[in-house]
Amino acid sequence: MEGFLTAWLGAVPVYMTPLLLAATGLILCERVGILNLGSEGMMAFGAVAGAVTVLSGGAPWLGLAAGLAAGVALAVPFWLAVVVFRANHILAGLGVVAIGLGAAATLGRDHAHKPFAGLGKLDLAPLDAIPLVGPFLFRQDAIAYLAVAIALAASVVLSRSMTGLRLRAIGEDPATADTAGIDVPATQIAVVTIGCALVGLAGAYLSVVGSKVYVDGMVAGRGWVAIALVVFARWSPARAILGALIFGAAEALIPRLQVVGAEVPVYILSMLPYVVTILALVAVAILDPARQGEPRFLGRAYLRQDR
Amino acid sequence: MPEDHARSAPAARAPAAPDSAAPASAGTAPALAMVAVSKAFGGKTVLDAVDFALAPGEVHALLGENGAGKSTLMNILTGIYAADSGRIEIDGAPVAIRGPSDALRLGIGMVHQHFRLVGTFTGLENIRLAAGGREGVPVGAALGERVEAIAAQTGLEAPLGVPVARLSVAERQRIEILKALALGARLLVLDEPTAVLTDDEAERLLALVRRLAADGLPIVLITHKLREVMQAADRVSTLRQGRLVMAARPVAEVDPDGLARAMTGDLAGAPAIRQARPAPGAAILGLAGLHVGGDGRVGVEAVDLAVRAGTIVGIAGVGGNGQQPLAEAIVGLRPVAAGAIRLDGDDLAGASVRARRDRGLRYIPADRAAFALADGLTVKDNLAAGDVGAGRTGRVMVPSGRLARLAAERIAAYAIAGASPERPVRLLSGGNAQKVVLARELDAEARLVIAHSPTRGLDVAACRYVHARLVEAADRGAAVLLISEDLEEIMALADEIHVMSRGRLATTPDGRPDRTAIGAMMLGHA
Amino acid sequence: MLDGVVLERRQGVGRGRQAAVFAGSIALGLALSAGVLVAAGVPAGALFDEIVVQVFFTASGLAQTITMATPMVLLGLSAALALKHRFWNIGIEGQMILGAVAATAVAVGGVGGAGMRPAMMLIAAALAGLAWIAVPLVLKAVFEVSEVVVTLLLSSIAFLGLQHLLFGPMGDPARNFPVSPVIDEVARLPLFGFGDVHAGLVVALAAALAVAVLVDRSRPGFFGRFVGDNPSAARALGFPVVATTALFVLLSGALAGLAGGLVIAGTEHRLSQYVALHATFSGIVVAVLARYSALGCVVAAFFVAGVYVAGSTLKVFYGLPEGVILLVQGVVLLTLIGGQFLALFRVHREARPAPAPALPASTERAA
Report yes or no: B97 and B77 within 8 Å, Cβ to Cβ: yes
End-to-end CA distance of chain B, in Å? 23
Identify the pLDDT of residue B6.
38
Burial of A120 (C-beta count, 10 Å sphere; 0-12/13-18/19+): exposed
Mean pLDDT, chain A, integer: 91
Calpha distance B18→B143 (Å, rounded): 17
- Segment among A126-140, B37-51, B116-130, B477-491 with least mean pLDDT: A126-140
**Which of B96, B370, B385 lies closest to C354 in CB terms?**
B96
Q: Note which residues in 308-327 of chain B have CB less than 8 A from chain A.
A: none
Query: Other CB atoms closer than 10 Å to residue B525's CB: what's the count?
Result: 10
Chain C residues within 8 A of A228 when measuring between CB atoms: 149, 153
Q: Is A49 helix (H, G, I), strand (E, B) or coil?
A: helix
What tens digit of pLDDT does each residue of B142-167 get?
Answer: 888 889 999 888 888 889 999 998 88
Identify the pLDDT of residue C26.
87
Phi, psi at residue B301, to the nearest 5°? -120, 115
Dihedral of alpha carbons A27, A28, A31, A37, sign: negative
Pick the residue with more confidence: B285 or A136? B285
Amino acid at B89: E
B128 touches chain A (CB under 8 A): yes
Q: Which ranges of C218-272 does DSSP label H, i.e. alpha helix?
A: 219-229, 231-236, 241-262
B427 touches chain C (CB under 8 A): yes
Min Cα separation B266/chain A (Å)? 32
Helices C200-217 and C294-318 meet at what angle, rounded to 10?
140
Calpha distance B3→B403 (Å, rounded): 54
Residue B24: closest C-alpha in chain C: C366
Closest C-alpha to A204, from A46, A35, A3, A33: A46
Phi, psi at residue C322, to the nearest 5°? -60, -25
Which band of pLDDT confidence, cut at 50, 70 and 90, is reported for residue B281? Answer: confident
Which band of pLDDT confidence, cut at 50, 70 and 90, is reported for residue B357? Answer: very high
Angle at alpha carbon of residue B179, lines to B173 and B181, rounded to 5°:
110
Residue B127: closest C-alpha in chain A: A180
Calpha distance C155→C146 (Å, rounded): 15
For residues A59-63, average pLDDT: 95
Chain B residues within 8 A of C232 when measuring between CB atoms: 370-371
Q: Is the pLDDT of residue C367 over 50?
A: no
Greatest alpha-carbon span in chain B: 77
Mean pLDDT, chain C, integer: 88
Identify the pLDDT of residue B341.
97
Pick the residue with more confidence: C116 or B23? C116
Identify the pLDDT of residue B505.
93
Query: Other CB atoms closer than 10 Å to residue B186's CB: what's the count?
Result: 26
Calpha distance A39→A43 (Å, rounded): 6
For residues B248-253, average pLDDT: 85
Which band of pLDDT confidence, cut at 50, 70 and 90, is reported for residue B5? Answer: very low
> Between A and B, how many residue pairs show a Cβ–Cβ distance under 8 A?
57
Which band of pLDDT confidence, cut at 50, 70 and 90, is reported for residue B12? Answer: very low
Identify the pLDDT of residue B524.
60
Which band of pLDDT confidence, cut at 50, 70 and 90, is reported for residue B21? Answer: very low
- Segment among A148-152, B219-223, B246-250, C164-168 with least mean pLDDT: B246-250
Calpha distance B321→B298 (Å, rounded): 6
**Probe site for chain B from C362, C363, C364 (most B CB atoms < 10 A):** C362
What tens digit of pLDDT does each residue of B311-338 get?
Answer: 999 999 877 789 999 999 999 999 999 9
DSSP string, B273-332: PP---PPP-SEEEEEEEEEE--TTS--EEEEEEEEETT-EEEEE--TTSSHHHHHHHHHT
Query: Other CB atoms closer than 10 Å to residue B419's CB: what's the count?
Result: 26
Identify the pLDDT of residue C5.
61
User: Going by DSSP bridges, is the β-strand pair B361-364/B300-308 parallel, antiparallel, or unpaired?
Assistant: unpaired
Please judge whether C236 and B25 are an interchain contact, meaning their C-beta atoms are less than 8 angstroms apart.
Answer: no
Report yes or no: C140 and C146 within 8 Å, Cβ to Cβ: yes
DSSP B502: T
Percent of chain B scoring above 70 in pLDDT: 89
- Segment among B460-474, C195-209, C223-237, C278-292 with least mean pLDDT: B460-474
Identify the pLDDT of residue B326.
97
Number of H helices, E strands in chain A: 13, 0
Chain B residues within 8 A of A182 when measuring between CB atoms: 132
Identify the pLDDT of residue B457.
76
Closest C-alpha to C329, from C63, C74, C79, C26: C26
Q: Is B339 helix (H, G, I), strand (E, B) or coil?
A: strand
When mean pLDDT is compared over B132-136, C230-234, C325-329, the highest value belongs to C230-234
Q: Is the pLDDT of residue C213 over 50?
A: yes
Which band of pLDDT confidence, cut at 50, 70 and 90, is reported for residue B66? Answer: low
Which band of pLDDT confidence, cut at 50, 70 and 90, is reported for residue C164? Answer: very high
Calpha distance B462→A279 (Å, rounded): 53
Phi, psi at residue B483, to the nearest 5°? -105, 120
Q: Is the pLDDT of residue B194 over 50?
A: yes
Min Cα separation A296/chain B (Å)? 9
DSSP string, B82-139: --SEEEEEETTEEE---SHHHHHHTTEEEE-SS----TTSBHHHHHHHHHTT-TTS--
Output the CA–CA distances (angstroms, integers) from residue A297 to A51, A89, A302, B98, in the order listed: 37, 12, 9, 26
Which band of pLDDT confidence, cut at 50, 70 and 90, is reported for residue B371? Answer: very high
Burial of B457 (C-beta count, 10 Å sphere; 0-12/13-18/19+): middle
Length of chain B: 526
Phi, psi at residue B187, to the nearest 5°? -150, 155
Report yes or no: B233 and B251 within 8 Å, Cβ to Cβ: yes
For residues B214-239, average pLDDT: 87
Q: Is the pLDDT of residue B462 over 80?
A: yes
Dihedral of alpha carbons B435, B440, B442, B448, sign: negative
What tens digit of pLDDT does each residue of B401-424 get?
Answer: 999 999 999 999 999 987 889 888
Report yes or no: C110 and C297 within 8 Å, Cβ to Cβ: no
Output the CA–CA distances (angstroms, integers) from residue B344 to A216, B284, B299, B356, B452, in the order listed: 70, 5, 25, 11, 21
Q: Is the pLDDT of residue B202 over 60?
A: yes
Closest C-alpha to A40, from A92, A94, A113: A94
Mean pLDDT, chain B, integer: 85
Amino acid at B18: P
Report yes or no: B508 and B520 within 8 Å, Cβ to Cβ: no
Q: What is the dihedral of CA C346, C351, C357, C358, to 10 degrees?
A: -60
For residues B504-508, average pLDDT: 89
Report yes or no: C192 and C201 within 8 Å, Cβ to Cβ: yes
For residues B220-225, average pLDDT: 83
Q: Report cis status (omega within 30 of 0) of the bond before A185.
A: no
C212 touches chain B (CB under 8 A): no
Residue A180: closest C-alpha in chain B: B130
Angle at alpha carbon of residue C83, lines to C81 and C89, rounded to 5°:
95
Element (H, E) at B489: helix B487-493
Identify the pLDDT of residue C4.
52
Percent of chain B scoring above 90 in pLDDT: 46
Please judge whether A285 and C322 are an interchain contact, meaning their C-beta atoms are less than 8 angstroms apart.
Answer: no
Closest C-alpha to C32, from C337, C341, C329: C329
Q: Is the pLDDT of residue B257 over 90?
A: no
Closest C-alpha to A27, from A218, A270, A293, A264: A293
DSSP string, C296-351: HHHHHHHHHHHHHHHHHHHHHHH---THHHHHHHHHHHHHHHHHHHHHHEEEEE--
> How much is the ipTM here?
0.91
Percent of chain A scoring above 90 in pLDDT: 68
Pick the residue with more confidence: B211 or C320? B211
Calpha distance C366→A229 (Å, rounded): 55
Identify the pLDDT of residue B276.
60
DSSP string, B210-277: HHHHHTT--EEEEES-HHHHHHH-SEEEEEETTEEEEEEEEGGG--HHHHHHHHHGGG-SPPPPP---
Length of chain A: 307
**Which of C148, C153, C341 lies closest to A87 in CB terms?**
C341
Output the CA–CA distances (angstroms, integers) from residue A2 to A131, B20, B74, C15, in the order listed: 9, 68, 71, 70
Pick the residue with more confidence: C190 or B271? C190
The DSSP bridge partners found for residue B219 are B59, B188
Calpha distance B322→C312 (Å, rounded): 65
- The answer for residues whose C-beta is within 8 angstroms of residue A84's C-beta and 6 or more apart is A185
- Segment among B353-362, C49-58, C355-364 with least mean pLDDT: C355-364
Dihedral of alpha carbons C52, C54, C58, C63, sign: negative
Report yes or no: B182 and B158 within 8 Å, Cβ to Cβ: no
Q: Note which residues in 196-255 of chain A have CB less than 8 A from chain C.
A: 216, 220-221, 224-225, 227-228, 231
What tens digit of pLDDT does each residue of B385-405 get?
Answer: 999 999 999 999 999 899 999
Element (H, E) at B479: strand B479-483
For residues C308-326, average pLDDT: 84
Helices A184-204 and A2-31 meet at what angle, rounded to 10?
160
Q: Is the pLDDT of residue A203 over 90?
A: yes
Min Cα separation B56/chain C (Å)? 13
For residues B5-14, average pLDDT: 36
Calpha distance B98→B81 (Å, rounded): 8
Q: Is the pLDDT of residue B113 over 70?
A: yes
User: Going by DSSP bridges, is the β-strand pair B346-347/B361-364 parallel, antiparallel, or unpaired?
Assistant: unpaired
Query: Other CB atoms closer than 10 Å to residue C19's CB: what's the count?
Result: 11
